[in-house]
A and B are shown apart, each in its own frame.
Chain A
Amino acid sequence: MHELSIAAAILEAAQREVALHQNAPLQKIVVRLGELAAVDAEALRFSFEMITKATEFEPVELELEFIFRTNRCAGCGAEFAVKDMEFRCPVCGSQDTSFLRGDELEIAYLELEDV
């Protein structure tokens, strides 16, 4: 259960950015969450609600973009979601595929109200 510290890190990072933009009211934070990030989406949402409750950030929406584990085939270049730990390329059948994305835990962008 480290989602609370992650929620706090998200809010702190957002606050720093807002300060750089004349403290314009923050409306939304969009976070990319990879399947392999070991972060539970529901626990993260709950933690974020908890730390923003009764603060100026209470109306801020936390949007999570879920990123599936994706591999790329070295043979044909196809990109595919890895399901049930099946790493073989579904297009050409090659075993030679490698990790492309799916471990993200990053802030993609913020939405601020124009002041």
Chain B
Amino acid sequence: MITHRIQIEKKVLNENQRIAADLRRRFEESGTLVLNLISSPGSGKTSLLECTLACLPRSTRVAVLTGDIQTENDAQRLQRFGFLVKQITTGGTCHLDARMIERAIASWDLDDLDLLFIENVGNLVCPSSYDLGEAAKIVILSVTEGEDKPLKYPSIFFKSELMVLNKVDLLPYVPFSVAVAVENAKRTHPGIEVILTSCTTDYGLNGWLHWLDSRVTTARNSQAVLV
């Protein structure tokens, strides 16, 4: 039997990649900073967003897309701050993909948005494979989870620009070394930035808001260059 070979050299998630690239171009043109928040379930993505939305000036034009397998609970928690919030229920899928984002924002005018948070489905594995057109991925790790998570789930730490180490108010009660966690994150991704936060005591929120503010400004300024 004679066979022949066809070179393909395409990403398996080529279709997702194509939509993500299109979304990224649109976000850059409108000067909207898009952040993809990824963590295990229960590490505090929604709490961090609650604190963030409560602190942001009303003049910041913010929207949140929040992904879960079931329920509208997160959207309900976040809606009370008066910003645009939309729930994406995946109905079983363990991650968000670019097509879900494209559909969710279809009726939005991106020129009216400075900042879009995408709260991914709680999962440290699958969301790392799907580009959503974001400017940066942010991984959230809480101190109740164990400081070896960056070594066990290297992909998401490698692809994230920032690690938010959350629930630091619980440090006196759990055997967790911040130094070891940070070292593990840096071993996985030497360039990763780290911010320590507590949504209960507001510890570190200023640093987080400052990080956001500088990234929003950068996104807006690079839009000025594009236009």
Q: Give A contacts to B, CB under 8 Å.
A: 1-2, 5-6, 9-10, 13, 17, 21, 27, 31, 36-39, 85, 87, 99, 103, 105-114
Smallest distance from the beta carbon of A21 to chain B beta carbons, Å? 7
A-B contact pairs, 24 of them (CB 8 A): A5-B93, A6-B12, A6-B13, A6-B129, A13-B8, A27-B3, A36-B154, A36-B155, A37-B129, A38-B128, A85-B154, A85-B184, A87-B190, A105-B13, A105-B129, A106-B9, A106-B10, A107-B8, A109-B7, A110-B6, A111-B3, A112-B3, A113-B3, A114-B2
Most buried by A among B7, B12, B187: B12
Interchain residue pairs A-B with the least CB separation, the first 9 = A85-B187, A38-B155, A2-B126, A114-B2, A107-B8, A105-B12, A38-B128, A106-B11, A110-B6
**CB < 8 Å neighbour of A38 from B1, B125, B151:** B125
Q: Is the interface of A mostly helix, strand, loop or mixed?
A: mixed
Q: Is the interface of B mostly helix, strand, loop or mixed?
A: mixed
- Within B111-165, the residues touching A (CB, 8 Å) are 125-126, 128-129, 151, 153-156, 158-159
With the chains together, A106 CA to B9 CA distance in Å?
Answer: 7
